[in-house]
Structure 1
Amino acid sequence: MLPRTVTTLALLALAALCGPLAQALGLPLPYLLGPLAGSALVATVWPHRLPEGYTFPQPLRQMFLAIIGLMIGAQVTPALLTEAHQYLLTFGAITVFVGLAHGMGYAILRHVGGYDATTAFYASTPGGLYESIAMGEAAGADLTRLMMQQFLRIIVVVTALPLGLSLWIGEPVGSAGGMTLARADVPWSDLPLIVLAGLGGLALGHVLRLPAGQMTGPMALAAVLSLTGWLGFEIPQWLVNLAQMVIGTALGMRFTGLSRGLLLRGAGLSLLSVGAMLTLGVALAAGLHRVTGEAVDVLVITFAPGGVTEMALIALSLQANPAFVTLHHIYRIMLTVVVLGMVTRLRRRAP
């Protein structure tokens, strides 16, 4: 068995190979999905090669989640506020989506998948990945199935939706189409500022107890700095790629010890539940289009239940404001987490 530090370095070296390979294959979000697939392969096929009880270092993952949060938050500009008159309608539609999507996902996992009620409830949320896992584990859900379904939800969305839109439009969209929220020419002298902003954002997310605070804290900080004009900064492309490789590797390692049979069954259930959620999103997007005049494809990615970064990149492909899309995804996540928290407290009080 390899020591833990050597194992982490070996996994990151594998990620450095899988990211460019996925990009060469034209996959969406290649520097996330490539390393995720590589580390998941190690976790499911060769778990005995890992140190006993090995988990990917969480502080490392959190720091790079903060980088992604900064990148997205920097896209929030005063121009975004000019569309505020539409938010009552779109946020209302997101509220309806969260309730119906969760209900459909629960029904599929409970009655088709045969999951117990607690596991099905926490595994079928259309957002709040880490919060769903933490609350579900505390409530007595089957952690293996819960974690698997939540991660598969995001993987299916960030893979299927960009591919589907690419076929619809006739050209690659999102990261597969060369879109990025980063810049290649950021000077190295900006790196200390980026690190300080990331650390400050992590602290903000912790103090305010924000949902997915490792990303939403830095995102909120970057958004405030951008809106007020106090400070503006860009994230270099190499750092964004590195962040996605680290995050993808950490996600893939979550599959350690899962059997291939269980993964295949979970993937089938995820395709059913995500397909139902996306169908609902398309229906709501078509209705909103008639009222707001916003493009249907932009509204569809606004409703997609996962993959905030990739959805923002697709928005860039469609000449839409990525901050508009991201803002609605954050609302979806926060609403899901709030509802989960309320239900969890009610369950605890129940006799």
Structure 2
Amino acid sequence: MTLPLSTFVLIAICGAAGALAQLLGLPLPYMLGPLLASGLAATAIPHRLPAFPWLIELRLVFIAVIGLVIGTQVTPELFAQAHALMLSILALAVFVLLSVAWNYTVFRRLGRYDRATAFYSSAPGGLYESIAFGEAAGADASRLILQQFLRVIMVVTFLPIALSIWHGEAVGSAGGMSLAGEHVPLSRLPIIVLAVALGVGLGRFGRLPAGQLTGPLAIGALLSLTGLVQMEIPQWLVNLAQVVVGTALGMRFTGISPARLRQAAGLAVVSVGGMLALAALMASLMAPLTGEGFEVMLISFAPGGVTEMALVALSVPANPALVTLYHIIRILMTVLGLTLSARWLKSRL
């Protein structure tokens, strides 16, 4: 089997897992199904798996597609909530500080991690930035990477399932909600490809945070607000994007020893559990002040990845553009804090 072909076979298998997850009524089936399938394979038979050289590149392409989908949801009404946004920014700052303090205690006291590894594993956002700063400070790179990826994976796994249990029925895409169109003609694909390409270029050359997502998001928002082009994204393309993102997340477990994975997973459960409890507290305080529902604010504060949390936003009738904005602000706060503290911490860790 050639190396590129192995990538597409993996995606096909994980796509079938997504379809099965949808039949079982799981929330976010086309992301969680592939995540579970690829993660199981990566931990159970890592030495029998071939290389998947195109997976990371495909993930980046489909993250851009998701960004475009989110951008099409930007409407003038979104900007009418500026006062509520300012209150939420203050609450996000408190959330970031308390999350770092909680996580550092968990990784330092329970995990017995060294100070650098514990501190940079504690960042509730800025996944790649925290890894880069941590490695420069002498952190254990393998533990740091594992804890940061487990944070994202556990949040995007637990939160939709918890919402489904809370509602007593499937929510989100498993419950029939979607941001995409069911009957979009193939003739619309060239416009979608052009918009995605323009967005990726904007994100890269404009040095936007999470540029692979936010660049296409900006293009989608521009088209939505101006009405220049009616951007319709086919449902099958959104499903495929979720399959690729979920598969790539699951494959992060490749090569990790079972013992290390068990320890890191146990710590991540305590860490993520504390952060989600804090997010729920913040959401309960901010919901009446912002006029948004509790679930919308919970998803906005939950410390997952930007792309993945935008998909979780499908679980409630929330504007994913608003949820994405909150997460970008949270990540910017975290990265700014890491940048300002890097030199000071390096001399003390």
Q: TM-score, normalised by structure 1?
A: 0.90
Listed as ranges, the matches of 1:58-97 within 5 Å are 58-97=56-95
Aligned partner of 1:182 in structure 2 is: 180
Superposition deviation, residue 240 in structure 1: 0.9
State the partner residue of 2:168.
170
Offset of residue 307 of structure 1: 4.9
Matching residue's letter, 2:41: V
Structure 2 counterpart of 1:45: 44
Report whether the alignment pairs 1:106 with 2:109. no
- 1:254-303 Cα deviation digits (max 9, x unpaired): 21111222222222111111111111112122222343343222222221
Q: 2:198 matched to which residue of 1?
A: 200
- In structure 2, what is the Cα distance between the partners aligned to 1:345 and 1:224? 39
1:144 paired residue number? 142
Change (3 A) 1:99 1:56: farther
In 1, the alpha carbon distance for the partners of 2:132 and 2:18 equals 29
Q: What are the superposed Cα offsets for residues 301-326 of structure 1, whole Å, 9 maximum, x if unpaired?
A: 22111154564455555433332222
C-alpha root-mean-square deviation of aligned residues, in Å? 2.4
Query: Contact (CA 8 Å) 1:180, 1:313: kept in 2 or not?
Result: no
Q: How far 1:211 moved relative to its partner?
A: 2.5
CA distance, structure 2, for counterparts of residue 260 and residue 103 of structure 1: 28
Find the aligned partners of 2:54 and 2:36 in 1 and give their Cα distance: 15
Residue 281 to residue 5, structure 1, CA distance change in 2 (3 Å) = same
| Alpha-carbon distance between aligned partners in 2 of 1:166 and 1:176, rounded to the nearest angstrom | 10
1:8 aligns with 2:7: yes
Residue in 2 aligned with 1:252? 250
Q: Which consecutive unaligned segments of at least 5 residues does structure 2 have?
A: none
Structure 2 counterpart SS, 1:99:
helix
Offset, 1:63: 0.8
Runs of at least 5 residues in structure 1 that lack an aligned partner in the other structure = none
**Distance in 1 between residues matched to 2:177 and 2:141, nearest whole Å:** 36
Alpha-carbon separation, structure 2, partners of 1:13 and 1:138: 38
Q: Which residue of 1 aligns with 2:214?
A: 216
Moved more, 341-350 or 180-189: 341-350
Looking at structure 2, the residues matched to 284 and 310 of structure 1 have their Cα atoms a distance apart, in angstroms, of 20
Question: In the aligned structure 1, how far is the partner of 2:287 from the partner of 2:252?
Answer: 39
User: Structure 1 residues 261-270 or 125-134, which shifts more?
Assistant: 125-134
Change (3 A) 1:121 1:348: closer
Q: How far has the Cα of 1:342 moved from its partner?
A: 2.7
Q: 1:258 to 1:165 in 2, by over 3 A?
A: same
Structure 1 contact 179–313 (Cα < 8 Å) conserved = no
Instruction: State the number of aligned residues.
Output: 349
2:340 maps to what in 1?
Answer: 342
In structure 2, do the counterparts of structure 1 residues 7 and 143 end up closer, same or farther at CA, with 3 Å as the change threshold?
Answer: farther
By how many angstroms is 1:347 displaced? Answer: 4.5
1:115 maps to what in 2?
A: 113
